[in-house]
């Protein structure tokens, strides 16, 4: 998405299902069930009005709120919502803040996910959330290093240039690690 305050439908599903999750190989076998549950939760929240979405109607160039119906067809891969035969919204966007409000404890994997964490993993998740890092917003590595360094100081963790650099690298996608940051 062009704006980093929004998620696509697929990004919203991933956020609901897997944010902060550390899965073993055995737990990954349940990934499709968890994704299906996340899709059902998102669909229900859209239908009930707990979450608002907007998109472009076919043939228009201005995003509009989507009046969701129970019979709407959602295509997560294409990021479209079909309300009826003629009414199709594309480039659907959901505000991240609405997802956070609707799903404050969004780990559907509670039965499948390891609860183990470290201060370093917690810092990385905080930076991802606060800087709204996503597939379309990778952020600047140097800025991420500074933020991580400050968070490590706040927690009284030892200063380590190598560790801070590695954490900033691991937050970003492999293609962004080659000096081609995806910034929108």
DSSP reduced 3-state for 183: coil
**Where residue 184 falls among pLDDT bands split at 50, 70, 90?**
very low
pTM over 0.85: no
List 64's β-bridge partners, or say none. Answer: 55
- Contact (Cβ atoms closer than 8 angstroms) between residue 37 and residue 59: no
171 within 8 A of 181, measured Cβ to Cβ:
no
Sole residue written with tokens 């650099």: 165
pLDDT value of residue 109:
38
Question: How far apart are the C-alpha atoms of 8 and 79, rounded to whole Å?
Answer: 6
Q: pLDDT tens digit string along 96-115?
A: 888 877 876 654 434 444 55
- From CA 158, how far away is CA 161, in angstroms rounded? 10
Tell me which residue has tokens 């707990």. 50
Write the DSSP string, 46-71. HHHTSS-EEEEETT-SS-EE----TT
What is the band of 120 on the pLDDT scale with cuts at 50, 70, 90? very high
Q: Which residue has the tokens 């067809």?
A: 73
Kindly report, residue by residue over 25-79, the tens digit of the pLDDT.
Answer: 655 566 667 778 888 888 888 888 888 889 988 778 888 888 877 788 898 888 8
pLDDT-derived band at 142 (thresholds 50, 70, 90) equals very high
Q: Calculate mean pLDDT across residues 111-125.
A: 73
DSSP reduced 3-state for 28: helix
């Amino acid at each position: 998405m062009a704006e980093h305050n929004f998620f696509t439908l697929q990004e919203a599903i991933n956020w609901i299902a897997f944010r902060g999750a550390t899965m073993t190989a055995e737990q990954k076998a349940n990934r499709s069930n968890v994704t299906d549950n996340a899709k059902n939760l998102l669909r229900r929240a859209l239908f009930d009005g707990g979450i608002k979405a907007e998109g472009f109607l076919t043939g228009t160039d201005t995003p509009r709120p989507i009046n969701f119906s129970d019979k709407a067809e959602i295509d997560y891969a294409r990021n479209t919502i079909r309300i009826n035969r003629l009414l199709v919204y594309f480039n659907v966007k959901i505000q991240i803040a609405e997802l956070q409000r609707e799903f404050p404890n969004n780990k559907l994997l509670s039965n499948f996910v390891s609860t183990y964490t470290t201060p370093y993993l917690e810092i990385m998740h905080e930076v991802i959330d606060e800087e709204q890092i996503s597939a379309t917003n990778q952020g600047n590595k140097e800025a991420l290093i500074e933020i991580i360094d400050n968070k490590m100081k706040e927690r009284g963790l030892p200063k380590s240039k190598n560790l801070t650099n590695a954490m900033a690298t691991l937050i970003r996608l492999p293609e962004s690690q080659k000096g081609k940051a995806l910034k929108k």
